[in-house]
Amino acid sequence: MQGKGFFITGTDTCVGKTTIAAAIALNLKRKGLDIGIMKPFATASKKYNSKYKSADVAMLLDITKVKDKYNNINPFFSSLPTAPYTASLIKKSDKVDIAGAVRSYTKLASAHDQMIVEGIGGIMVPLTRTKSLVDFAKAINLPVIIVARFQLGMINHILLTVRACLDYGLSVTGIILNDLTSWNDPVKKEMIVETIEKTSRVSVLSIIPFIENRIPEKVAGILERCPRFMSLESSNLCPGQKY
């Protein structure tokens, strides 16, 4: 059965997943839903602070004010800034327990109306020798929203990500293009969106411009004015697109 909420993945790291996950969570909260958040796997060069190991979790909690147990929200953290599997090769104690992360998700999901779960890097990031982030995403089976950096090369990255999700049986609800570098593209945005939608058969929900300060709150405001996004949220019956 498909879970309630969204799994936020990206075409890469630093594309705006945390920012957009926080904005979506805020948006759903404003609609009166009880939202849980999860960042199952996080790596960084160091712990964020004494309270939150992961800066992403700190931002998601700051926006949502969720009070769940930290270890359920973020079961895996490594202070090696690399893929979780690589971290586990370097440091034996940084072994990923995917089944444990799924159990944490189940606990959180049963306590909330909907879950917003942020991935790590892109969808094929290795968690173990044989399992990738996509395996975890399939285990929790939330509909996927793909965040892509709006820049040259994004079409290929988006198509690869959509293909991987569909190959693993996930449904892809939509794509959000994040213009976080204010890319000066000589090609009209509409043509890029049309290319992405026609080739991936997934809707582009929104294009987020470069924003200064209080970014998640402003992104939430942009999404609120975006009919495609709002119609998704209201029902959350997101069948996704299939080839």
Secondary structure of residue 211 in the 3-state scheme:
coil
User: What is the x/- site pattern for Mg ion, positions 37-76, by CB under 5 A?
Assistant: -------------------x--------------------
Q: Is 180 one of the binding residues for ligand ADP (CB under 6 A)?
A: yes
Binding ligand ADP (rule: CB under 6 A), the pick from 73, 145, 205, 208 is 208
Sheet holding 144-149, edge to edge: 35-38, 114-122, 5-10, 144-149, 172-178, 204-208
Q: Give how many residues touch Mg ion by CB under 5 A.
A: 3
Residue 5: partners with Cβ closer than 8 Å, 6 or more residues away: 28, 35, 36, 109, 114, 115, 116, 117, 142, 236
Size of interface with ligand ADP, in residues (CB under 6 A): 14
List the single partner that 180 binds among ligand ADP, Mg ion, none, CB under 5 to 8 Å by kind: ligand ADP
Question: With CB cut-offs between 5 and 8 Å by kind, which of Mg ion, ligand ADP, none does residue 158 bind?
Answer: none
> Based on CB atoms, which residue is closest to ligand ADP, 17 or 53?
17
Binding mask 14-33 for ligand ADP (x = CB under 6 A): xxxxxx--------------
Catalytic: which of 4, 17, 29, 39? 39
Shortest distance, CB of residue 48 to Mg ion, whole angstroms? Answer: 12
- Quote the CA–CA distance of 64 and 21 in Å, as a whole number: 10
Q: Is 178 in the site for ligand ADP (CB under 6 A)?
A: yes
Taking the least distance from each CB to ligand ADP, the nearer of 58 and 230 is 58
| Cα torsion 48, 139, 4, 159: sign | positive
189 noted as active-site residue: no
Asked whether 205 and 228 are in contact (CB, 8 A), the reply is yes
When asked if residue 149 is in the footprint of Mg ion (CB under 5 A), the reply is: no
- Closest CB to ligand ADP among residues 16, 75: 16
The residues that are catalytic are 39
Contact positions vs ligand ADP (CB under 6 A) = 10, 13-19, 178, 180, 208, 210-211, 215
| Residues in touch with Mg ion (CB under 5 A) | 17-18, 56
